[in-house]
Structure 1
Amino acid sequence: MKVNTDSLILGSWVNVGAAAHILDVGTGSGILALMMAQKALSSSKIDAIEIDDNAAAQAAFNFDNAKWSRQLSVYHCDICKFEPPCLYDLVVSNPPYFDEALKITNAYKAQSKARHVARQTSVLRPDTLFSVSNAVLNEGGSMYCLYPSTLDADIVQVAETYGLQLQRILYIKHSKTKSPYLCAFHFIKSCLASSLHGCKNTQEQNTMVSENILTIRNEKGDYTDEYKALCEPFYLRF
């Protein structure tokens, strides 16, 4: 999978802070892990999980050739079989989020197994992602991810089930006249166990959720000032 705008927005939006241990789930070419390395402390360690053979090899190559190579490690495995070497302060993921094709096309029928894994939720469902994130996060740790805006309420509900409380949400629009097509979510691990196992329901907690909108392009088709301001550290052309 090539580097895309979605990952660039998510990686730019993440507040790494002083996170000492960071995990990128489904790293693909390694873009989010590399962005985390650029933003993190020089002492921070960034691990990345990738299930696809070729993608894991590509990520490893990119890590080896990055200036932050000593901070980066890739694990070629299924997320459900991942044995974390530590607990993490931050988990980030641009997960597959299509349940099925909106329209069956020749391109969809001919897509490779690797592309199917990267795009369809049958391989990494939200409940699996949130369950694993809860398990590997330190108390109070952050989890960042992307999902379609049409699923925002469902995603928040599933995350709450696994003890992840919404802190911030960013609605992303292609242009001013378009409706949001994507949401970036920032969750905090709010307790040691999920609400199904005795954790206080996060809806009962008095926490203000920050909501913002990001428009990618203006009326002329150029990147908006807000998009440039957010992503500038990662674009040579800006």
Structure 2
Amino acid sequence: MKRQGFQFKQFFIEHKDCAMKVGTDSIMLGSWVTCPTCSIENTPQQFLDIGTGSGLLAVMLAQKSTEHTYITGIDIDSDAIGQAKRNMTNSPWSDKLIAQQTSLQAFQISMVEQKFTLIISNPPYFNSPLSTDERDAKKRIQARQTSKLTHQELLENVAQLLADDGTFYCVLPSDVCEAFIGHANTLGLHLIKQLTVFSKPNTPALRELLAFRFAARPLHTESLTIYTENHLYSGDYMALCKDYYLNF
């Protein structure tokens, strides 16, 4: 039986059991992240993927991180965690990856001493009531809405889990970005990098890729257009994702 998922250059992500399928937002975010190197040779680093879903972002980080990096993906959905565990096990970096079913709030409480040098999330981004009885559609809406994890709760927990010299990466719709950045500032998380994403030329901004640190520094801003006028992938998009897309 044919697997339902997405073939990348070095791994396959199956997503049939996940509410949120492999999508452009996560592929861009995982490609955009810069993984830190160990300041002390052979010192283990810990990364965290919040709302891991299929495990895509965690596996992308495993591909680009150092040998002594360990990545934990967490999600509240049992089906997604089962899928993430299989994808992690089947990847070339199974020894670096772990998936855990838990809420971020409970995870943060359990991590009394643990800090993460990199935290990544493609978080929920809208508030709307569940309006369908279909199980898969209902789970998809739950995965995308902020009722289980508001942006404020996300940032408050990230601020507790992030190492002093760590970086938090996320992707958000452009229209909610300003409020998110403002609340991050109140927690001492300063925006240091921002990539504004457009679908096609001469269209409104679609997404914002954001990077935060506790130490303020001059903001580095860039923009990216995914498609040309002819609906072909742009050169900039292909350059960003070339380490992952099979045909780039």
Pairwise same-fold verdict (TM > 0.5) = yes
User: Whole-Å Cα distance in 2 between the matches of residues 117 and 28 of structure 1?
Assistant: 12
**Count of aligned residue pairs for this structure pair:** 219
Q: SS of 1:135's equivalent?
A: helix
CA distance in 2, matches of 1:189, 1:73: 26
**Equivalent residue for 1:195?**
none
- Matched with 1:218 is 228
User: Residue 5 of structure 1 corresponds to which residue in structure 2?
Assistant: 24
Letter in 2 for 1:28: G
In the TM superposition, residue 109 of structure 1 has moved relative to its aligned partner by 6.5
1:17 Cα deviation from its structure 2 partner: 2.2
* Map 1:181-196 → 2, pairs under 5 A: 181-190=206-215
Tell me whether 1:28 sits opposite 2:53 in the alignment. Answer: yes
* Equivalent position of 2:166 in the other structure: 141
Q: Give the match's secondary structure for 1:233.
A: coil
Q: Which runs of 4+ in 1 moved over 6 A?
A: none
Q: For residues 11-70 of structure 1, give each alpha carbon's deviation from its aligned partner in whole angstroms, at most 9, with x where no partner exists.
A: 000111216211000000000000000010011000111100100100011111111000
Partner of 1:86: 114
The residue number in structure 2 matching 1:199 is: none
Q: Distance in 2 between matches of 1:229 and 1:42?
A: 25
**8 Å Cα contact 1:143/1:189 also seen in 2:** no
Deviations 1:212-232 (A, max 9, x none): 111000011100000000000
Q: Structure 1 residue 161: deviation in Å?
A: 1.6
In structure 2, the gaps of 5 or more residues are 1-19, 39-44
Q: Choose 53-62 or 154-163, whichever is displaced more.
A: 154-163
For normalisation by structure 2, the TM-score amounts to 0.84
Alignment of 1:47-66 (within 5 A): 47-66=72-91
> What residue is the counterpart of 1:201 in the other structure?
none
Verify the 8 A CA contact 1:29 1:56 in the aligned structure 2.
yes
Q: Which amino acid aligns with 2:24?
A: T
Instruction: Find the counterpart in structure 1 of residue 148 from structure 2.
Output: 123
Residue of 110, 125, 128 corresponding to 1:100: 128
| Aligned position for 1:41 | 66
Q: How many angstroms apart in 2 are the aligned matches of 1:80 and 1:117?
A: 17
Is 1:153 the counterpart of 2:178 in the alignment? Answer: yes
SS of 1:36 mapped into structure 2: helix
Matches within 5 A, 1:187-206: 187-190=212-215
| Distance in 2, Cα, partners of 1:189 & 1:29 | 29
* Equivalent AA in structure 1 for residue 229 of structure 2: E
> Does 2:193 align with 1:168?
yes
**What do the CA deviations read for 1:77-102 (whole angstroms, capped 9, x no partner)?**
1110012372100000000101228x
Identify if the C-alpha distance between structure 1 residues 213 and 31 changes in structure 2 by more than 3 Å, giving closer, same or farther: same
**C-alpha deviation, 1:113, in angstroms:** 3.5
Please state how far the C-alpha of 1:147 moved relative to its aligned partner: 1.2
Aligned equivalents of 2:79, 2:165: Cα separation in 1: 34
- Secondary structure of 2:91 counterpart: coil
**Mind listing any 5+ residue stretches in structure 1 that lack a counterpart?**
191-204
Percent identical pairs in the alignment equals: 36
1:48 aligned partner, one-letter code: G
Equivalent residue letter for 2:28: I
